[in-house]
Structure 1
């Protein structure tokens, strides 16, 4: 419920504080008195886009504060929590604007954006009038209105879940098909590359080992000849034979040398021992340098093959094994892709069937609700002097989506046999007002938390029809707070609370004021609406009769 509205330095308003109450709140006044200014100011604090020149001339800043009472289950609580704003049973919206157009908004004294204000406004207020393009006259919202009337929340939740599952299944199938198509294009390459890598089967670190062995064998080729010649020089046909001959010759004459040859012979024996050790070492080295030339050829062939394959695939030689595993995985995906794609296609078909079944149930529920709404509208239109008018809720096929596969449009025919058409194209001003009111009465179930504002919705009607409009507004106000801007005395007489909007000239300045009317003043205001500026006792009597009637 809108509890209060405070306006400072906005348009023609200097300072104004209004305390609203539950039920039917009526605002009246002469044309141009400033009734639309109140709605402009309320729209401003709710974040609605409107006129730019809002600040009162000469003021440094304009400000509007609106205070709402929120029941525990009100939708605004969730929005406040999502925006990280303080909540509670009281919601205070405050918005300021400078003459340059800079706007600042606060929600419960915390800075907030205009987007947050507009989101909150959707849960707080509904505005209806002859030029209403945000609510009942907008065909894009008719499906949601019918669903609210039919109580389709559970079906809609199931449908949205089914649509999400179908979208996910389609996405998975499309991605798998695209991946399979991409792999199919390189199938020949994959099979050749995997076969080539499998034949070679390179191991981590093998390239470095082969390179070391190759260099060792190449070095052996270069030094083995010299080592062999050294072995020959030290062997039986070389130095060893000469030492042996020298020792034999010395031993033959040693007994005749009177001991002069003992030291040389001892040194010669030591030399023969050292020479033997040297010859053995050279022989072992020669054995280690021995290799099959075909082994070097084989090592070089494998080393070059590994390096060539690494260059071909753009990886390091040690990464060829992992690269081969990746290629094998892609080949396996190709080989198993057809089966996976068939499984995903089957899942899509199942999701489509699930979505179709829920959408069909919702469509049937919508058509049933459309019949009930049409019957309810016929009941509401008769007291509004439109018993010959026909209201039809048309449910037609539409592109499937998260909200179903139905399009909903409200159509009217003002006379039997006349072609049906959209509300705002077929109905005249007075008829349109009554259609909107009847429709709002029918759709008002569950809207108790909304403040409903009707801006001169009774324009173009009078007499008994205006009285019927007033009674329907009063009925709507039994379960919701309703604010009505009206020029009709029959509507004003049905109000629970009445305010008069006036324009005053003081000290050369024009201001708009709003006055809460006591019972006597209310009689005078309705009498003025009946008779004009000259209020007579007869007019007052008629006003009292309207109020009590």
Structure 2
């Protein structure tokens, strides 16, 4: 449930705070006053696209925040915890900052997150129904999405999508084998020759660098021998010349300190000298191993030949020897797929048929959910149409099974609408006037919202539904009934409706008015809650365009009538 919506410097609104009712809240105001900015704020905190052109003139940034209440076990909290956010008394703070220049910033409970995180969390908290759906719903794809959403068949759709991808991959492998056989044979010959060439050389990881280092030692053997010999002479000394080496001299120094027999600092220094002697002795041993082997020079030609052989591999399949080995290993896998033998083709056909069988099973499970949902949707929407002063109007949701699969299953989904009993059922958008289509959309949205509400976990705060002026083209008795239907929905869910109809606004528990006027920065929009006499005046204005004695009395009568 949305506890509070706050925004600053968004469009013409310098600042606004709305604390909607837990039931039904109406947002009203004259056309062009800026009601759409409240919806833009909601879309921002729900991870929508940021538009810097909507920053209030003269401001450096726009900001919006929504505070939602959700139980700890709710799906929204699970997503929040995955993003590293801990429970804060059951409240989720979703906010967006949109600078006049630069990138927007999404924040969840004080933690900066990708805007996709806000989108993921908000889908479990709030649903927005707007006029744009009237155009989108005419497309078969959107109708299928609407039906799937109503069916709540996410599990079946995911299972089918996985099966479809596996089947599609199997088909592609088989098609490549059949249609590209000549190219594959040529490619396979190249891979076989290349693999044989590399295997003959038998390269090992890191081998080329090791060989080059070894060759460098052989080529510099004289310098190495001279340097190592000089270093070892300095450590060992030259007994034949009576020269004492460093190791022996340090040993004598350590012995001299111990002969003091006082201990303390002298023994400590003697120990340090002994440690140095041990380290130097290890160095001397290592140096002795570095003296060139007299056989190395004889192996130089063989060594150069091996380096030349490996360099040729690197030049063709490099840039490093490890890349050559990786290329060879991948080529061996590719070669298996290029096996165009009858046995290989039969194997791929078997894999394809198995994947198709699995995909068909998943598609029929998905089909069953759609058929059941189509029947329920048709019945429920038709009932809603009757309550919206369209007796005899009917929605018929058709789910026709095809012989072949595609990425969405086996089904062609079509919404057929009959606006009056004698009318033939025709596709949506071709069989209804603007007003009829508006009421049809309302019936569908109310049915969808009721279903989402029923699916919502018991004991959780109410789901939030926002209806954005979807009452366009509706009036009179239908408008009154629409308001009543929204009020009934608001018994179990939070409903926020942006409306220009007094018959709808009068059913709300709370009403906010958006007005435009002069401000310090020019034309500005304010949002305020109206109660008591102020609300009466607003309802009267909505009824007649001004607050007169007659419209005032009519408004009182309307508010008194709009009680469940």
Identify the TM-score tier after normalising by the shorter chain.
Answer: 0.5 to 0.7
Question: Per-residue deviation at 1:461?
Answer: 1.8
Q: Which residue of 1 aligns with 2:29?
A: 29
**What is the 5 A alignment of 1:211-360?**
337-360=341-364
Closer, same or farther: CA 341–486 of 1 in aligned 2, 3 Å = same
Closer, same or farther: CA 130–342 of 1 in aligned 2, 3 Å = same
Aligned mates of 2:337, 2:51 — CA distance in 1: 62
Closer, same or farther: CA 166–426 of 1 in aligned 2, 3 Å = same
User: 1:135-174, CA deviations, whole angstroms, 9 ceiling, x for partnerless residues?
Assistant: 7565423223323433434433442343244245446656
Q: Which residue of 2 aligns with 1:546?
A: 561
1:370 counterpart = 2:374: yes
Question: Per-residue deviation at 1:417?
Answer: 4.5
Q: Which residue of 2 aligns with 1:57?
A: 57
Contact persistence 2:170–2:352 (CA under 8 A): yes
Q: Mark the runs of 5 or more structure 2 residues left unpaired by the alignment.
A: 194-199, 203-308, 314-330, 457-461
Aligned mates of 2:359, 2:155 — CA distance in 1: 14
Task: Indicate the SS of the match to 1:53.
Answer: helix
Task: Indicate the SS of the match to 1:57.
Answer: coil
Closer, same or farther: CA 484–337 of 1 in aligned 2, 3 Å = same
Contact persistence 2:9–2:55 (CA under 8 A): yes
Contact persistence 1:527–1:543 (CA under 8 A): no
Task: Indicate the SS of the match to 1:32.
Answer: coil
Aligned mates of 2:561, 2:151 — CA distance in 1: 36
Task: Indicate the SS of the match to 2:143.
Answer: helix
Question: Per-residue deviation at 1:483?
Answer: 0.9
Aligned mates of 1:186, 1:43 — CA distance in 2: 53
Task: Indicate the SS of the match to 2:376.
Answer: helix
Question: Per-residue deviation at 1:420?
Answer: 4.3
Q: Which residue of 2 aligns with 1:532?
A: 545
Aligned mates of 1:331, 1:405 — CA distance in 2: 35
Counting matched residue pairs gives 428
Aligned mates of 1:186, 1:98 — CA distance in 2: 55
User: 1:174-203, CA deviations, whole angstroms, 9 ceiling, x for partnerless residues?
Assistant: 6777998778669999999xxxxxxxxx9x
Q: Which residue of 1 aligns with 2:114?
A: 113
Question: Per-residue deviation at 1:27?
Answer: 1.0
Task: Indicate the SS of the match to 2:54.
Answer: coil
TM-score (norm 1): 0.66
Q: Which residue of 1 aligns with 2:479?
A: 466
Q: Which residue of 1 aligns with 2:271?
A: none
Question: Per-residue deviation at 1:26?
Answer: 0.7
User: 1:497-541, CA deviations, whole angstroms, 9 ceiling, x for partnerless residues?
Assistant: 222222233457433222223344333332332243233252243
Closer, same or farther: CA 132–92 of 1 in aligned 2, 3 Å = same
Question: Per-residue deviation at 1:542?
Answer: 1.8
Contact persistence 1:87–1:108 (CA under 8 A): no
Aligned mates of 1:183, 1:512 — CA distance in 2: 68
Question: Per-residue deviation at 1:337?
Answer: 4.9
Contact persistence 1:27–1:486 (CA under 8 A): yes
Aligned mates of 1:37, 1:91 — CA distance in 2: 22
Task: Indicate the SS of the match to 1:511.
Answer: strand
Closer, same or farther: CA 8–329 of 1 in aligned 2, 3 Å = closer
Aligned mates of 1:169, 1:122 — CA distance in 2: 35
**What is the 5 A alignment of 1:126-205?**
126-132=127-133, 136=137, 139-170=140-171, 173=174
Question: Per-residue deviation at 1:487?
Answer: 1.4
Worse-matched range after superposition: 56-65 or 377-386: 56-65
Aligned counterpart in structure 1 of residue 412 of structure 2, from 407, 413, 417: 407
Task: Indicate the SS of the match to 1:25.
Answer: strand
Aligned mates of 1:58, 1:465 — CA distance in 2: 44
Q: Which residue of 1 aligns with 2:467?
A: 454
Question: Per-residue deviation at 1:544?
Answer: 3.4
Contact persistence 1:130–1:432 (CA under 8 A): no
User: 1:395-450, CA deviations, whole angstroms, 9 ceiling, x for partnerless residues?
Assistant: 24566245312132323232345454454454333222211221122223134464
Q: Which residue of 1 aligns with 2:15?
A: 15
Q: Mark the runs of 5 or more structure 1 residues left unpaired by the alignment.
A: 193-201, 205-310, 316-326
Q: Which residue of 1 aligns with 2:518?
A: 505
Aligned mates of 1:450, 1:544 — CA distance in 2: 26
